[in-house]
């Protein structure tokens, strides 16, 4: 799933540590601040590693079990890094009726991974998510936060190819 070289945990990464500390510092006195801290860390750092969770617990003076309980409860929080690009399949009702499963099949074939997994080069993560609320454009595939609506298998193939080509060109 992850690449062979184990990257250093964000908590001990001198570039990321100040970001983490700033997020915690900004929200340390906020009522119900744990969710705010975790949401910010997830979006700025990309995931919530075990050491990060322990650190948050220590700073906010709450048990690690509570932090981990919250992290594991909400589907937006991830404990492993995502790929550089994230392809999310909306499996809301309208997208399901509209045939989103065909796109999932197509992606599995092209990338050789299942939803929830990341390609071995760390490039692409496949995810499924509940309704993104773009139902009038169903079926929707979200590529790096951009909604791609009215997907068809042939059109979707091109979307994936574009991500791969852009990356190869970069």
Partner 1 sequence: MAYYRSTILVSMDPICIEKGALQIKEQIIEELKLQKILDEVQILDSPRIGDPETEGPDILVYPEGSHYIALTPESVHPLVVEHFIKGRELAQYSAKMRDLMDEEVREPKDKEVRVILENIGKIDPRNIEDYIATDGYSALAKVLTEMTPEDVIQMVLDSKLRGRGGAGFPTGLKWKFARQAQATPKFMVCNADEGDPGAFMNRKVLEGDPHSVIEGMVIGAYAVGSSQGYVYCRAEYPIAVSTLNVAIKQAKEYGLLGENIMGSGFSFDLEVRMGAGAFVCGEETALIASIEGSRGEPRVRPPFPASKGLWGKPTNINNVETYANIPKIIYRGLEWYTSMGSEKSKGTKTFALAGNVAHTGLIEVPFGMTLREIIYDIGGGIKDGKAFKAVQTGGPMGGCLPTCDLDLPVDYETLGAAGSIMGSGGMIVMDEDTCMVDIARFFMEFTQEESCGKCVPCRVGTRRILEILERICAGGGIPEDIPMLRSLCEEIKQDSLCGLGQGAPNPVVSTLNHFLDEYEAHIYEKRCPAKVCRNLISYHISEEKCTGCTICARNCPVSAITGERKLTHVINQDICIRCGICHQVCNFDAVEVN
Which residues make up the interface to partner 1 (CB under 8 A)? 31-36, 38-39, 42, 66, 69-70, 73-77, 91-99, 101-102, 105-106, 108-110, 129-138, 145, 152-154, 157
Torsion from C-alpha of 113, 117, 118, 119, nearest 10 degrees:
-20
129 SS3 class: strand
Using alpha carbons, select from 85, 80, 82, 49 the residue that is nearest to residue 67. 49
Task: Output 94 or 123, the one with its CB closest to partner 1.
Answer: 94
Q: Shortest approach of partner 1 to residue 68 CB, angstroms?
A: 10
Q: Shortest approach of partner 1 to residue 5 CB, angstroms?
A: 30
Q: Shortest approach of partner 1 to residue 137 CB, angstroms?
A: 7
Question: What one-character DSSP code corresponds to residue 81?
Answer: P
Q: Shortest approach of partner 1 to residue 3 CB, angstroms?
A: 26
Strand ranges, E, within the chain = 85-90, 124-129, 141-143, 146-148
> Crossing angle, helix 33-45 and helix 17-27, to 10 degrees?
160
In this structure, is the dihedral angle defined by the CA atoms of residues 104, 130, 141 and 169, taken in order, positive or negative?
Answer: negative
Task: Output 7 or 44, the one with its CB closest to partner 1.
Answer: 44
Task: Output 12 or 66, the one with its CB closest to partner 1.
Answer: 66
Task: Output 34 or 59, the one with its CB closest to partner 1.
Answer: 34
Q: How far is CA 33 from CA 23, 28, 62, 66, 80, in A?
A: 10, 7, 11, 13, 22
Q: Shortest approach of partner 1 to residue 1 CB, angstroms?
A: 21
Task: Output 5 or 29, the one with its CB closest to partner 1.
Answer: 29
């Amino acid at each position: 799933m992850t690449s062979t070289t184990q990257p250093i945990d964000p908590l001990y990464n001198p570039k990321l540590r100040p970001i983490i500390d700033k997020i915690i510092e900004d929200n340390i006195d906020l009522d119900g601040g744990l969710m705010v801290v975790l949401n910010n860390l997830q979006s700025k750092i990309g995931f919530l590693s075990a050491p990060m969770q322990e650190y948050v617990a220590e700073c906010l003076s709450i048990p690690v079990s509570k932090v981990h309980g919250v992290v594991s409860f909400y589907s937006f929080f991830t404990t492993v890094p995502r790929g550089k690009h994230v392809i999310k399949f909306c499996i809301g009702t309208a997208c399901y009726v509209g045939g989103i499963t065909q796109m999932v099949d197509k992606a599995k074939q092209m990338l050789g991974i299942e939803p929830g997994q990341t390609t071995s080069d760390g490039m692409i993560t496949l995810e499924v998510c509940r309704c993104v609320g773009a139902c009038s454009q169903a079926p929707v595939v979200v590529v790096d936060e951009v909604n791609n609506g009215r997907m068809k298998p042939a059109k979707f193939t091109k979307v994936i190819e574009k991500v791969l080509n852009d990356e190869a060109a970069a």
